[in-house]
Structures are given as structure tokens and as C-alpha cells.
Amino acid sequence: MSGLVLAVDGGQSGIRMRLSDSKKVIETQGASRLEGDVMTRVHDLVVKAMSQELTKDLDTVVLGLSTSPTAGEDSVRLARKLGESLGARRVLVTDDGVTHHASHFEGLPGIVLAIGTGVACVGVGNKQDAIVSVSGYGYLLGDDGGAFSIGRHALRVVLDARFKDSKSSISQLAQDHFGPLVDLAAEVHSRPRAVNEIAHFALEVLRLADSDEQARQIIDHASGELAQSVQRGIVAAHLAPESAELVWSGRLFAHSPLACESLERALIELIPELKIRQEESNPLQGGVWLGQTADFGPYKNSIQTWGA
């Protein structure tokens, strides 16, 4: 299909957008279910961010959202509202795991592990009839190994040790970020974007891990959880471990040699036959591909469509 495509990658930490005829990435703040009607907020943030960027008629909008609506009618409501506001012919709404997988495999068999605030671990098997998701359950139920999970784990370690080891490096890190440890739990819960704050704290934990054993253990624990997600993905997609291919991405781990080594070690220990590639995360390219392809393949049942 031809025509201008707007790809949107949206999560709790941020929303990123790119037009298919440009390499420019437009960024704005994220949207969380804790902030009321998340779909209205996504709509408003995207429309505002693109108000000065659209100079041509828009054919298709593709939204890959970690906050993807659970009900089909909510997806269609968002799609219709956004299509009408942006003047698009068609709007596709899907989970960001789909756009991550499409960016690397374009519907072919394989497992994708995307590590951000949360985690998307999705796979397509050799029959290529559907995509399976074995992570990305959200911060309340899962996302094990992602930035929020790491930050939360670190804060729990600090809270549990504050009466016997309040001078540890990780305790000092938490105090520098959130204030006095005596008020830590209340302070974290009072932050207006607590999930985002905890996820950003994970970056500091990751930097500390280069010189601190306690922080390193937290990263190793996260790596183990991520490896278990990949193993579940291989089983769910009915892939043979010796022929399965994994692409993992995410700035959280990719910018830390220690974290990369930790993750790859955990993967090799659990699934020694697995073919592993690290690539730059590019769900926006996956969104553009979905907007231009004539055949969604294994993604078709995971996409809600509004328009022609």
C-alpha cells in the first residue's frame, strides 16, 4: 500500500512518532492508566505533538501501545477519534509487542524481547498463523526484568535493609533520588508519575552495578527473569530451541556492557542452543511496515482497524 504513514510507539515513559517519509522522531511524554482515561490522553498527546509536523495528507496511522486497550470497542473508539482529528483514511491499533516483532521479522518466525519500562516478549512460530505474547502483563502483574521491575526490586531491597544497612551504596542512591529513607515508601507512592520515576531509578541502579555487588545481583536477577520469558515464548510459539532465533533490544540493557553480559549469560545457561542477536529497538519501523503491507500475516488477529 502507498500513502503517508504515521507510526506511534506509546508507553508510560514516553510516546514517539515518525512519518514514513522522514527519519525525524517526535517525542512527547507518556500516558499511564493511573492518569485517568489513558486513550483520551494518548489521543491528545499525539494530536498536539503532530500539529506542526503534518504538511501532507495522512493515509494510515499505526499505534503500537504498551497501554493498548483491552476491549476492541475501546481500540476502535481511539482509532476513530484519532483518525478524524488527524484526517487519516485508516487507523490501526495494536500492542507494542507486535510493532517490535514486525520491525525485526516482518511476520517471519522468531522471538523478540524488548526491554523498556516494561517488557514485551512475543513470538511467531513456523506455522506463522498467530503471534504469541508471554510477557508485557503490565507493572501490576508482570513485566519482570524491565526498568520498573528493576527499580522496584532495588527500592524493596533498600526498604527492607534501612534499619540495619542504611549506609549501603544502593541506599544512598535511593536517598539521593527520593529523599530520606524514613519517608521512602510514602514519597514514592505520592509521586504523580510513580511508575515512570521507579523505571528511571533503574538506570541509576544499572550504573551502580559496575561497582556494587548488591546492584549487580539485582541486574542478574532481572536477566534471569528475562531469560525465562524467552523460554516461555519459544514453548508458546512451538519453536524448536535449536532453530529458534531471538532478537533482543532496549536501551536500558544495550548501553551497559555489564547488563548485556548478564542477559546473554542467563540466556545461554537456560537455552544453550538459542541463536541470539542484539539489535537497536525500532518499533516505529515496525509500525511503518504494518501501515504499508497488504498482508498482516500472523499479526492480523492482534490489530484493531478503523477506516477503509
Listed as ranges, residues in the chain with pLDDT below 70 are 1-2, 30-37, 67-72
Query: Does a structural domain hold residue 94?
Result: yes
- Cell numbers given for 27: 517525542
Kind of pairing between the strands at 5-10 and 60-65: parallel
The pLDDT score that the predictor gives to residue 101 is 96
The whole-angstrom separation of Cα 65 and Cα 250 is: 16
What CATH number does residue 65 fall under? 3.30.420.40
Residue with C-alpha cell 495494536?
94
Query: Does a structural domain hold residue 116?
Result: no
Query: Does a structural domain hold residue 209?
Result: no
- Cell numbers given for 159: 526498604
Query: Does a structural domain hold residue 225?
Result: no
Q: Which residues contact 218 (CB under 8 A, 6 or more apart)?
A: 150, 153, 154, 157, 205, 209
Q: How many domains does the chain have?
A: 1
Q: Which of 196, 175, 178 is nearest to 188 (CA)?
A: 178
- Residues of the domain holding 92: 5-100+283-307
Query: Does a structural domain hold residue 256?
Result: no
Q: pLDDT of 128-176, one tens digit each?
A: 778 998 887 777 787 899 999 999 999 999 999 888 877 899 999 999 9
The pLDDT score that the predictor gives to residue 94 is 93
HSE at residue 256, side-chain half, CA atoms within 13 A, is 24
